[in-house]
Structure 1
């Protein structure tokens, strides 16, 4: 087999986690090759909400998120990304949700909002009683950001081999579908597909695939919605809200009143795309291998709950899709299956939010 390239670092995977490591390696003066099996990134990095939900992270994820925020803002200038420092509005529709937000104000930078202030910022249904603004959060255009970052990296000398599959990963070398790439440092950033390369490692970390149902709908209010918008269901999905003593009351009430929504792992939220349409969702289902056949009831549930959240009778669907990300009991998988090889994955659905914080830690170990 012919030699395809030789560099300081080879990165397998051109999603946001792989690109974050490429950005960090370039800053350290390393030569970099990125291998990507598709012609462009088509996975979780483009199928998400485009939401940098920094404030609601906890522990290591919060540390990574604070670093990632600065990198996103820097890349906005360098790579021409659209990054909005518009924050996140959390809409409270029950007294226990508002109680959690009041407690959250004691541990994170945020502003409590009255019902009228919430409605000034975002469209809501008639049952809003208050909320909060998380001002440090950002929004990016999820469908274009990774492509723009890749183009900027290419201008910095990073060599991309698109449509190139990594067949064999071993110390000092990756054998691909197009030839061999030599590198002293190898980073495998393939998300949930880690089991394709290192199945024992995936078993050890209990990696599963999390399938999401998401949709893009026409904006029924026709107004600009700058922040990301979360609901009371979102309080159950982000780790930092567990710091609030009254969160179990929210969990108990939602489980009692809406058990079917808990069963499908609903995170009721939305963001606006540059064309004015809304990305809405999402549901969560966890399996090692995903069933290819999906029940439309998931989409109908997301649509009906979002319509009520927005205070409208119905929504017009423009697109729908399944997102997939790696999930495991721990939020990150960082492992060394061979000398000079690091597997790096965000196993908690917060790759866009924290990958730029994870990458420096991983490269420090190489």
Structure 2
């Protein structure tokens, strides 16, 4: 079934016209869960231009999640809602091309428009102001990492977890079967191999492992979709399994491995010898980055969480094979457990191993399997 989304969008200008920005959020139409957000500083513009740009960004974010989705747009701009609903004429030359662009994002019959009061559009308004603040400070707007929430211990008694004392009316969970790619020439040498290196292909053993995984998952018989990191080794692994299952592969950039910067291709010992202070900092904090990299585990946590939410929205109630790498899979596992960042250093994840996590409608998750390599014996 196509997804149903709610898009909340807003835009603002400090001076009208003046420094302007927009914000938009996409929510699951059934649960209200936030699944995507967008914001941007757009320079010198009017409120109305910024509002239209927010609308376009929100529609595009929904289309990226599911191009067949239906969308209910909710905005506190009476002008945009009435114009896009066809009840008011669009006379201003700055508005006409923006309205035309908005209509091309999704077919008109799949988008409805609803006016809401400003107090019910606080998230989009907040993002628009964040974008303007960033732009006026000479920075690009960046989403706030979700890891900050995960890294703190709960302040209240948590709700009963799924699989232990969960209510009976949560519906069918969405299951992620997490498959690490097969070996590459770098794997047995335990060299750092992220998204900033040579993008190696599978070795002969790695291709054999992918075939064994395909056999095991075909025997399982429950996989309904395949989503993978766009890197070569994950593409090769995913395509091997998908061909066996008769499915197509959908690629998600949020599932790629961390960029290890100057550490790419080095062993742990070589990094320790050449960059001892950077390595110690990286091992001690999720916010630290490998030498020469722009990406920390905190950054990874955010993008992996966004990728997870996109997949959950698109394949609610289904079993999805997610083909990725060590760090993103460990991140999804630790988020499911509510574990701290350093728990990643206490997990073993072998090449072509399988994990499984189930996600429930109340937001809880249940780890069902970790580092299963029985299909490789």
TM range, smaller chain: under 0.3
Q: Which structure shows the higher helix fraction? A: 2
Q: Which has the larger radius of gyration?
A: 2
Between the two structures, name the one with larger relative contact order (CA 8 Å, sep ≥ 6).
Answer: 1
Give TM-score scaled by structure 1 length: 0.23
Q: Which structure shows the higher strand fraction? A: 1
Give TM-score scaled by structure 2 length: 0.22
